[in-house]
Each structure stands twice: as C-alpha cells, then as structure tokens.
A and B are shown apart, each in its own frame.
Chain A
Amino acid sequence: MYLIFDTETTGLPKKWNAPITDTDNWPRCIQIAWQLHDAMGNLVDQQDYLVRPEGFNIPYDAEKIHGISTALAEKNGVPLSEVLEKFNEAMAKTKFIVGQNVGFDLNIMGAEFHRMGVENPLQELPVLDTCTEETALLCQIPGGRGGKFKLPTLTELHEYLFNEPFSEAHNATADVEATTRCFLELIRRKHYPTEKLDVQPDYFENFSEANPQEIRLIGLKHINLKKTSKKIADALWEKDTGGVSQEEIKENIKTLEDAQFVHLHNHSQFSVLQSTINIKDLIRSTAENKMPAVALTDHANMMGAFHFVKEVKAHNKSIEEKNAIAVAHGEEPTGQEIKPIIGCEFFVCENHANKNVKDYGYQIVLLAKNKKGYQNLCKMSSIAYTDGFYYVPRIDKEVIKKYKEDIIVLTGNLYGEVPGKILNVGENQAEEALLWWKQEFGDDLYIEMMRHGQEDEDRVNQVLLEFAKKHDVKLVASNNTYYCAKADADAHDILLCVKDGEKQATPIGRGRGYRYGLPNQEYYFKSADEMKELFKDVPEAILNVQEIVDKIEAFDLARDVLLPKFDIPEEFKVAEDEVDAGKRGENAYLHHITYEGAKQRYAEITPEIEERIDFELQTIENSGYPGYFLIVEDFIREARNMDVSVGPGRGSAAGSVVAYCLKITNIDPLKYDLLFERFLNPDRISMPDIDIDFDDEGRGRVMDYVIKKYGANQVAQIITYGTMAAKSSIRDTARVLDLPLGDADRIAKLVPTMSKLAKIFGVEESELKKRFRSEELEKVNQLLNIAEGDDLEAQTLKMARVLEGSLRNTGIHACGVIITPSDITNFVPVATAKDSDLYVTQFDNSVVESAGLLKMDFLGLKTLTLIKDTVKIVRAKHGIELVPDDFPLDDEKTYELFQRGDTVGIFQYESPGMQKHMKNLRPTVFDDLIAMNALYRPGPMEYIPDFITRKNGMAEITYDLPDMEEFLKETYGITVYQEQVMLLSQKLAGFSKGEADVLRKAMGKKIFSVLQKMKPKFLEGGAANGHPEGVLEKIWKDWEAFASYAFNKSHSTCYAYIAYQTAYLKAHYPAEYMAAVLSNNMNDIKQVTFFMEECKRMGLDVLGPDVNESYYKFAVNKDGAVRFGMGAVKGVGRSAVETIVENRKKDGPYKSVFDMAKRIDLRASNKKAFENLAVAGGFDSFGTTHRAQYFHDDGDGITFLEKVIKYGAKFQENENSSQVSLFGDASEVQIPEPTVPPCEEWGTMEKLRREKEVVGIYISGHPLDDFKTEINAFCNASVSCASELENYVNRELSFAGVITDVQHRISKNGKGWALFTVEDYTDTFEFRIFGEEYLKYRHFLMINSFVYVKVFVREGWMNRDTGKKETLDCNSIASCYCKRSWKLMQKN
C-alpha cells in the first residue's frame, strides 16, 4: 500500500531544521489530501479536508499561493482532531508514505499531531519522495546547487514524465493526484530499486502487466479554492462596505484642509544603492511642497545625518533671510523653515549576535525626539555594524530596550514586524508583536499606514486599523520614499539592478529567474495633497503626523572639537581643573615643555623670543586647546624614537615657535619671518590644525602607537564614500539595460576626464564652450546628440545622469585618524571596514571635525622615505652618518645643481617648467627656493619672469613705499607670500595681528564684503602713519588683484626645505640618491625608465641585477654604480631576494649558479624566480655561462636551470638527512653537478627583449641608443605614427627602428611579399611589403637590422578587413624628400 499525501499551510517555517516539537516554528496545516493505493497502483481510498483554523488565521501571502482564505477555511473546514483521526486510519493501512518534497508535509503534520497530543506512526513509516537527486537526474534541469541538476518541482516532473504540464499546483487534492500519477509512473518505469520498495524481484514485471500503459489521472474534480475564497470575500465585502460614507469623506477632506503633512519615512543615497535621493534633493522637495519638517530614515546607518542637518540649517538660514526681506518690504513671508528629523530604519532580528542563521529581521523605523534620542540611534547603528553585521547590519529587541529613550517608533513598511507578521505568519503573532512595542514605547509607538496601491498593503491596513482601534495605538500615514519624482522610478529600478547585478529585463519577483524590485512606481516623494487624497478615509493618520513632528525638537549636530584628556605629570596637575574642567594643568605643562625645548633650540632666549613664545602660549590658552599640542608633541616624539622620519612641517603650523620648540616642526619661524597668527588667529577662537608628514613606511607605526595609547575604542578611521562617477554610471546603466559593452564603452569615453554628466547636460551652449577645450567640446556635443535620440543609448545616458553621484561603496580615508575622549560611539556612529581592524566613522572627512571629533592627519610622504633610504645607503657604503636637518643651507654644490636645472628627482622642483626657471633664475640663497616654490603654481606663475629679471639685476627693484622694503626685500619687491601682506598691513596701517589674518583670508578667498569693510581702515591707518593716500590706494588695489595668488610662506618654507635636503643629497651623493629614487619608484616601470634616463644623463652607470651584488631595492656598489634591485624583477618575490641576500652575507658571494642553488632556501625562491633572474642577467657575473644556456635543454625537455634547481634541492635534502658516509669522514655528499649545455648565444635584440619582459625596460641599453643623433636629425615621425596613418595621408614620414620579426611569404600568383615588424623606443608595428617594393628592399628585411624608413602615405585601396584606405608607398621617397627640403628653404 502507498499513501500519497500533500498539505497546504499558513506559510513557511522560520527554520527548516527545527524539530517537530517546536510548534512555534512550524506553520499550521489548513488543507490535507491523500490517496491510498495498493501495490499494483489501484486506488483504494482518497480523501481531502480543509482544516478549520482555531486560534489563528491564514496570512495573505499564503492565501495568495493556495487561495484558501480564513473565511473559506472557517466555513468549509473540519476540526483538526477529526482530520488527524482520519489520517491516522489511512496511515494504519499503508506501508509507505509518498509525496512530492514530502519532508515538509511530514514536519507539518508531525507538528499538528504533537500539538493535539495524538499518537501516530507518521515519523516511523518509510518515505518515498518524488523529489530527489534521482528524479533530478531524470529531468536534467540545469541550475542546481554545486553544479548538479536542479531538484524538479512537481510540474517539472509531470512534464518530463507525461510531456504535458500540470497546471494547478498548490491545491492539495490536485497535487496529490498529480504526485500519485508521477509516482506510479516512476514505479512502472522501474526507477525505484526493489530493495527500497521492499518487494519481490518479479514486482516490476507484475506491475507492468497490471499497468501496461502510461499511468492516467484518476479524474478527480478539484474545487478552485481561489474562486471559492473570492466568492466568500465578495459577500463579506458587500456587508462591510458602506463603512465610510460620502458625507464623512467630505468632512474628512475639510478637516484635512489645514493639516500639514510631513514625510517620516525617506531614504537617501546613504541607503547604499537603494535610493536615488540625495540629501539636497530631499530638502528641496520638502521646501517645494512647503512641508514644515522632513525625516531621514536610511537603512541602518546614520551616514547622512550630519549632512542632512547641515543642509536643513543652510536652507533655513536662506529662508530666514528671504523672509526678513519680505517682511521689510511689507510682504507676507512665504518661506517655510524645515525641521530636520533624524531617524533610521533598522533591521531588527531575533538575536543580533547570532551569525549562524541568516536572519534579516524586520525593518523598523526609529525617529529621534531630541539629541539624546539621536545619540541612542548612533549607539544602535554602531552596534548594528560592529556586532550585528551578518549580510545586513542588524540589531535586536534587547538592544532597542537598552537604548529606547527619546525614540519614536513607527511600525514600518510591509517588512516591518507587525505588517510582516500579518502578511506571512498570522494576525495573532502580529498582535503579540504590536503589544511588545506598545509596552516598551507606549505613546511613542505609531502604527504606520502606507498606501502604495498594492493589494497586500490594503489587506494589512485593514488589520492595522483594527489593531489601532483595539489597542489604542495611533495611526500615522507615510509613504516609503526612494526617489523624488515619479519619473525617477525607472532610474531607481536600474539602481536596484546595479546593486544586485541584475538586468532590468529580468522580471520582478521572488526566486530563481526573478529579481528584487519595487512593485510599482508609487515610492516617490508625494505632495501633501496626494497624501491627503490617499488617506481621506482615515484623516487621523494624517493629523497624527503633526503630533509626531511636535514631539520632536530640532537639534544641531555641529559642536566644538573635544580633545581626549592628555596625561600630564603629577606636579602640573591643578585640583581646580577637576571641578570646572579647566585646562590650567595642561597650560602649565605646555609652558614648561615649551621653555625646555626653547633652551635647546635657541642658544640664548632673547626678550624677543620670550615675547613671541608668551604671545603664542597666551593665544593657545585662549583657544582652549593646549591639549592638542601635547598630543601632537607626544606622538611626534614617539615617532622619532621609533626611527620614523618626520617632515620639517607642513602648512601654517610651521609659523609657530611653540611648535618649533616642541620639535613638532623643524623650521625656525623667527629666521624666516613666519607668522603665528597665520596659524592661530588671536582674535578668533579656533581649533589649531597641525598636519604632519611621516615617511610612508613608518606612518602605520605611528598610527599603531596612537591606537595603543588611546585605546582601540577611542580611535577610529574615517569613512570615504565611493560614488558613481560619470563613466561608471554609464557603464553600470548600460549593463542593466543590456546595451552592448562596446557601445557603452564608446559613450563612456566621450565624457571628458574629471568631468560630470551634470556639468554637461542642462547647460547653455556658451557655458559649455567656456568649460571645455575644443576637442572635448566635440565629444560633449556627441554626447548631447546621443541623449537626444530615443534609442537605448539615449535611455542609458538619461538614466546614468540620475544615477551619477550615487553612493556605491564605502572605504577608508587613507591618513585621517579620529581620537575621542571616551568611547567613540558616544560621539559618532561607527561602522567597520573590510581592510581595517579599527572602527570607521559613519561621517566622512568633510564633516567629522564639525561634528566635534579630533582629527589627526598622518600623511605619508615618499620623499621622506627617499631621504631616509639615501642616508642608509650612504651609511652602509661610506660609513658617514648624515643628518638631513643639519645640512648647511649655503652649500655651493647644491645651489649649482639648482642653477643647472638638474632637478629630476628633486621634490617639488622636478617639472621641466621648473627646471627652465631654475636655469634662468640661478638661485643662490634659500629664500630664492622658497619663493620659487610659492610662485610655481597656476596663477602666480606669470610673475616668475619678473621675479627672475629682478633677481638677476636686469630689472630695477622698486617699492611703493620705502617702508615696504623690510618685508619685500627677500622676494625682490614682489609680494609672494600671504605673510608679507599680513606684516605690511600691520606695519603700514597698524592692523592688529588678528585683523591681518582676517585680511589675508578675505583676500585669499576674495570675500569682497570683508574687503570693503577693511579698506577704509587700511587707508585711515596708513594715513595716520603718514603715507600718501594715493600710494595706499594703489597698494590696496595691487593686493586685491594679486593677494589671492599669494602663498602660505610657512608651507612653502617647509617644502623648500625638504627639496633642499634632497638636492643636497643628489649633489653630494648622486649614485646613492638615484638608487633611493629608483627604489621608491620601483613599482612603476615608466618612472623607473625615466629615472634611469636621468642616471645616464648624469653619467652614472646603472647596472642590471646581479645575485652577487643586488639587494631587494636599488643600491650602489663599490664602484659607485647604481645596481638594479632584484625586487624590481618580475616574478621575484621579497622572500626569494631575502634568502639570496642573507646567504650571500653569511657565506660570501656565490661562485656559480650551482653554489647558489645549494645554499639558498629553495622554497622561498621558486623556478620562476630563477628563470627571471637569469633572463634579467642576474647570473651574468658567473662569467662563463651565457643567458641562453640556462634555458637550453639537451633534447630531454628539461632546461638546464631546472636541472640546477633539482640538483640544489637534492643536495640540501641529503645534507639535512645527515647521511654518514661509510668511510666516516666525508659528510659531503657527492652528487654530480649537471653539465652546462653548450648552445648558441641570444642575439642582442633577443637578449634585450627578454630582459625587457622581466624588468620592463632595457637595462643593458636600448638597441637604438647608438643612433640617437641620427634619429633626432633625420626622422620626422616614429613607429607610433603608423597606427594612426589617417592623420598623415599624402605626407612623407621618416622614422627609424629595429626589425624584430620578418616573415617572407609567397602569394597565390607566385609573387613574393613579406610581413615585418619594426620597433622603436616606444612602439612596434607590423608592416607588409609587396610586389616591386618587396623585391627592391627585401635585402633590408633581416631580423635585428636597424632601418631607416621613409614612406609616403597615400590613400590606397579599400582593405576588406579593416575598411582602411591607406597603403605605404616606399617608392616615392626620393622626390618627396626633395620637396620637403625645398619648402624649408623657401621659409628661410
């Protein structure tokens, strides 16, 4: 007997592997059907029942599947006990339980039996499933797990067996009938082994005899449950409707007339790839709709919070101004200020720490009532990311309980707990959930009602309405907004596809072959009227919004920076500080260490120095940030102790004598007239900001120190938001829309680099002309043309425009570190990042400081590493300990280097333009270098010629007033620095230090309102000092024009100082310096080539790698030649180099390649490393063997090098096993060395080519080097031109190169022709030569011959393959040549 059965349920279980005793987990059975067949497949019995739901209801999502509504089940169902009894009877008769995917039904029924406490044999009976690996093998539907076939659904199995689909899945009776048919057919086809069926071997034969034909349906009549349910529902509906009458609605509309609506459920781009709204748009939409407030509720993160509040504040300010103007004009103020509401939509799961179960939880919207509430949101968001992240950032109810203060809860969308449970689990469970939230939040819980026009929502809303009435919870209307305008729905849909890597053409839905998407286009920022219209039958939902808004008080997130407490020595502590949080102790300590430092820095502390220090300390005290200096001083001191190079300073901080005394900076401000007030304005309290450069290798160690000192929970890195750029948004959109890759690429390439689509579209043509260069403009116009069409490309561009700028991913800011006074989550929401153990702030670099966080920039400066490396090499080679900070600033040789313009590789001075200026300027003092560094940038660049002529005495140096000479002398009368403006304003017009700084800022940023205010003061002050007004007027005008170009002298001095150090090293230790430069650019082949050129120009030898001399980095050998670093050879890892160098140091240089193979660690240095070293010439110093031999095999397929490695490995193995020879003494095991096979040497070109392959450049020299002069003198083109011949039609080109490949061929009609490849410094090109020309020139076509080619480019025949029309004509060379010279002569 076989019992085939199937059930329909209230849904799916939460956990599939829960035991049947876990009755909460398993859904309820609402329909069961079975058929009992005897062994020969004859129907014995069949029954089916609807089960009457007792104490639960059927959720809508389940009803959608099987069509059984609660009403239907209640009307037609029988009590569960009765059903179980009947089922038990059927089971008593059977031998097997059969079903499709029957495990689920077994569990459902098992749980039901368990609930009722009825004994049953269900779990003991043997099971035959029709959905197994075996049936999967039969159906062969691809796409299963692990590359297997997919398990077939009932329909699929049916279709396979009977070649007809079976349509009415999900009605238990029909399913059972179909399952039975399939099952019996499977037996008939002998797909079950006899053992499994526990039958005699002749069973199948008997069965086939009994059923000679394909099994047929038994022909039951099925009730269409959906239709039946609908009938009942319709009947009920009629009874229910008429609840809200026309009159009531009219009245409602009237009450709503004055009500204001506010959107409380909005997503911004910070809900990564889920919303197209950016913060500005959100606020603009709010303002346009004249709403008094707006909320931001991103998915689990608070990244947008600060920007949001800031933007709202800016908006309010402009509105305030506008209103004030309106009032002043006697008009009604029209602007509406906006109240920002910060919220967050959390994923609330069972247990956020459980990372074994994939539980996304329910989405709940929390809103902050005030700042305290905001902080709680931050805490929760931080927990979600740091502890609860499992696919999504999650929290749980325990977390909410802990941080529920000052928080308002909305029940959320359909994925919220209450609506979600109504839809999927059952009303009772939903009610329970609601009661939990009510118990926790009381009046601060609101039931959120949404109407996006979806049936499921309407169903839920009915229940929600009931709940609201029953439990006295207020309703609130909301719209889940993901985009601003309805028109953006499509773009938003594309964004979702980008997120999931889907195509838009894929239908929306669940499961395989479907994708996620919003069900309709209603998720936009609706106007208040639209919302009122939607909720006209429940006016309180709209009215309650105001109540929420009133509960919320607006607050600001900007605050002063909080410093971590710095531990000062006991004797400086002041008891009062504890009481009023004062800084007396810190100030005293700072005073102390400053003067301690001053004693070391200055031979004598003159009254001027003392005055300056005291003034600075006073300003620092006033600013309230003495701790900042202590913190910085601390880690810089520590960095130096750890042998990390610290830059001499950076930015305006170099103007502080205190910083100089504390050794934070290394430039004496008094010596260079650097101003403290440029750094900290004494009249305005502001936060000091000291940026520090470290060598880029040591930077990490300093960061580690800071983390250790302040504790990992007080230190965080800063997030960076990765946004979709123009090109990537085009490419992404194209992929989603299925635009071919090539087209997408073509369009993307039309966008000028570093430009944005927003800058191209919607802009006047004249504006475009201004913005772009002519060739860019052409591309831009093409883009505009494409966008105007109505094909897929136009569509792509249109959508890409909307998506551009969307947040795509997050990263870490490379050098910023946040330090907070206590646990960081008290101050800012944090997250974690992939490649960092530290927390990462959710606020980005642009706002962290405004949010009150202390930010330290640890910048890595490669040049510092470079200096350090050079010092190291010099120490190793000459035994001289160089101290860069002690280099004399009047070193003749260094200035000569600058005068020659030999500044390649010199920090900040290496550009060709700078070289030219250096040659003309011929700097002789350090001040010249500072000035040039300040002048060489866009803007002030035009003053350089004037500066040069004045310096060299070719132009007169004049001053508007003799008083100005004091400060302008060093720059030959030209105002170069902001400091000069500041000093002059003080001297000429008696400005205070603070005013001077304000003036500087206003000039630099062209703030004309401030300048207008200051001008009379300047003229007055100047006149008081007896200066003629006309001259003052002129000075002011000059300043206005030029001062925005003036540069920060503090910074310029610091960087000129670093540059001077590098130049000093280059002048005195050229080889060592260049080795360091090369090492530091080792990863960039182009740079290496460039610097190698410079080495050659300087007359330095650069030698290829050599295992007996090279290190990982570039080095200098005893003859003063630069030795190539083995680390720069491709395929040679650091470990390989380490073992080579180590063993060389230990036991002296390697005598041969065998010697080396014997000694080094062969695990660290693999075959590839050996090969590439050989190719690069690393073994050349072994003398007798040439490179080709290493790769020669003696016909046995094993190269010599492989033999060597094997030999080495064997040798080491034997040595380790310490075999003792039979004759005692000789522990040296004798293995014969492989013989070096004789073979032909590689040609120069071959050698160089291979060499280039592994090191990226020709080290031993470029083959064309010998012909440089010829090439310069006689070539007007290069090989690269050959690939763009269309530009050279009817022109004659001459170029030189090496022939690297030749193939002589014979054409069909017996004429010879050839393919040959020409290579020059940069390019290679394959040419073809035919006919007469071939015969004429073929003797030149030899590999490695250097040729000089003159060609005349003529439009030729149409090439069928490429459509190109050019051909090279070597014939007409001579005549053309003459013509060209003739033309030149005419010109002369």
Chain B
Amino acid sequence: MLLQEVMETYAKKLTIKLNIDELKEKGISELKDTLISHKGDHALNFVVYEMEEQIKVNLLSRKQKVQISSELLTELTEKEVHYKLN
C-alpha cells in the first residue's frame, strides 16, 4: 500500500504514557491543548505508571477522540511525551 495512506488506514488508537512523578499541571494542560487541536475520531487512551512499585493504570478516554496524524505525533515527540499507537 502507498505509504501516504498508511496513517489513515492503520492508525486506530493513541495511547499516551505518563509517569506519575512527572505529572504536572502545566504539562497536562499543554497536552490537553495539543490533543484538542487535533480532534478526530481515533480512540485515545492513557496509561499512568509509577516506576518505584511498578504499578500502571489504563485509562480510556471515552469522550475525547483525536485525529492521529504525522503532525500530532511529531508534536508529541517534541514535548517528550511517550506514546504508543494501537
């Protein structure tokens, strides 16, 4: 398949991983802005984890959906947000 169409076809779900120690209000609101500006209809998940005791919680976002695109992912990378696709 053509590479140009890959994102549209295969991108289903975006999972954003957050370290609980690094959860700061500012970071979160920035992240929110980013996600809002890329509204769409792909599922959005969060995983919040804690290193010391190795706990993680999967959180599904039901209302918020995003449009997964190259731009969004680049932006996330720049912000050093770990993410996973599908």
Contacts and interface: CB of A to CB of B under 8 A. Distances in A.
B4 A1273 contact: no
A1272 B70 CA distance: 11
Nearest to B1: A1348
A1260 B7 CA distance: 25
B3 interface: yes
B85 interface: yes
A1267 B86 contact: no
B81 interface: no
Contact of A1270 (B58, B70, B86): B70
B6 interface: yes
Contacts of B73: 1269, 1272-1273
Contacts of B2: 1340, 1345-1348
Nearest to A1342: B2
Given A1269-B70, A1348-B1, A1274 B6 contact: yes
A1287 interface: no
A1273 B85 contact: yes
Nearest to A1266: B70
B10 A1274 contact: yes
A1296 interface: yes
Contacts of B1: 1340, 1347-1348
Interface string B64-85: 0000001001100000000001
Contacts of B59: none
Interface of B is mostly: helix
B21 to A, nearest CB: 12
A1381 B4 contact: no
Given A1345-B2, A1347-B1, A1274 B58 contact: no
Contacts, number: 41
Interface in B41-81: 58, 70, 73-74
Interface in A1225-1275: 1266-1270, 1272-1274
A1273 B11 CA distance: 9
Contacts of A1274: 6-7, 10, 85
Given A1273-B85, A1274-B10, A1274-B85, A1348 B3 contact: yes
A1274 B7 CA distance: 8
Nearest to A1264: B3
A1270 B85 CA distance: 10
A1346 B70 contact: no
Contact of A1296 (B3, B11, B58, B70): B3
Interface in B11-41: 11
Interface residues of A, number: 16
Given A1381-B86, A1388-B58, A1269 B3 contact: no
B58 A1346 contact: no
Contacts of B58: 1388
Contact of A1347 (B3, B7, B70): B3
A1266 B69 CA distance: 12
Interface string A1335-1360: 00000100001111000000000000
A1269 B10 contact: no
A1388 B73 CA distance: 22
Contact of B3 (A1267, A1272, A1381, A1388): A1267
Nearest to A1337: B1
A1269 B5 CA distance: 13
B85 to A, nearest CB: 5
A1346 B74 contact: no
Contact of A1348 (B6, B70, B74, B85): B6
A1270 B3 contact: yes
A16 to B, nearest CB: 77
A29 to B, nearest CB: 91
B19 to A, nearest CB: 14
A1267 B70 CA distance: 8
Nearest to B77: A1269
Contacts of A1269: 7, 70, 73-74
A1029 B73 CA distance: 61
A1268 to B, nearest CB: 8
B51 to A, nearest CB: 14
B3 A1346 contact: yes
Given A1273-B11, A1340-B1, A1388-B58, A1296 B6 contact: yes
A962 B47 CA distance: 47
Contacts of B6: 1267, 1270, 1274, 1296, 1348
Contacts of A1296: 3, 6
A674 to B, nearest CB: 39
Interface string A1217-1230: 00000000000000
Nearest to B68: A1273
Nearest to B72: A1269
A1079 to B, nearest CB: 29
A1347 B1 CA distance: 6
Contacts of B4: 1267, 1346
Contacts of B74: 1269
A853 B85 CA distance: 67
Interface in A703-719: none
Nearest to B70: A1269
A1273 B10 CA distance: 10
A517 B60 CA distance: 84
A1270 B6 CA distance: 7
A1070 to B, nearest CB: 18
Contacts of A1270: 3, 6-7, 70
Q: Which of A1267, A1272, A1348, A1381 has the most CB of B within 10 A?
A: A1348
Nearest to B7: A1270
A958 B2 CA distance: 61
Contacts of A1346: 2-4
Q: Which of A1270, A1272, A1346, A1381 has the most CB of B within 10 A?
A: A1270
A286 B71 CA distance: 78
A1277 B82 CA distance: 21
Q: Which of A1272, A1273, A1388 has the most CB of B within 10 A?
A: A1273
B84 to A, nearest CB: 9
A1266 B4 CA distance: 9
B5 to A, nearest CB: 8
Q: Which of B2, B5, B6, B58 has the most CB of A within 10 A?
A: B6
Interface in A157-190: none
Contacts of B10: 1274
Interface string A1182-1205: 000000000000000000000000
A1348 B70 CA distance: 15
A1267 B11 CA distance: 14
B34 to A, nearest CB: 15
Interface in A1312-1349: 1340, 1345-1348
A283 to B, nearest CB: 61
A1346 B2 CA distance: 6
A1296 B7 CA distance: 12
Contacts of A1340: 1-2
Contacts of B86: 1381
A1388 B60 CA distance: 14
A1270 B3 CA distance: 8
27 contacts: A1266-B70, A1267-B3, A1267-B4, A1267-B6, A1268-B70, A1269-B7, A1270-B3, A1270-B6, A1270-B7, A1273-B7, A1273-B11, A1273-B85, A1274-B7, A1274-B10, A1274-B85, A1296-B3, A1340-B1, A1345-B2, A1346-B2, A1346-B3, A1346-B4, A1347-B1, A1347-B2, A1347-B3, A1348-B1, A1348-B3, A1381-B86
Give me the 7 closest cross-chain CB pairs, A-B, nearest first. A1346-B3, A1269-B73, A1269-B70, A1273-B85, A1348-B6, A1348-B3, A1270-B6
Interface of A: 1266-1270, 1272-1274, 1296, 1340, 1345-1348, 1381, 1388
Given A1267-B4, A1274-B10, A1340-B1, 13 more contacts: A1267-B6, A1272-B73, A1273-B73, A1274-B6, A1296-B3, A1296-B6, A1340-B2, A1345-B2, A1346-B3, A1346-B4, A1348-B1, A1348-B5, A1381-B86
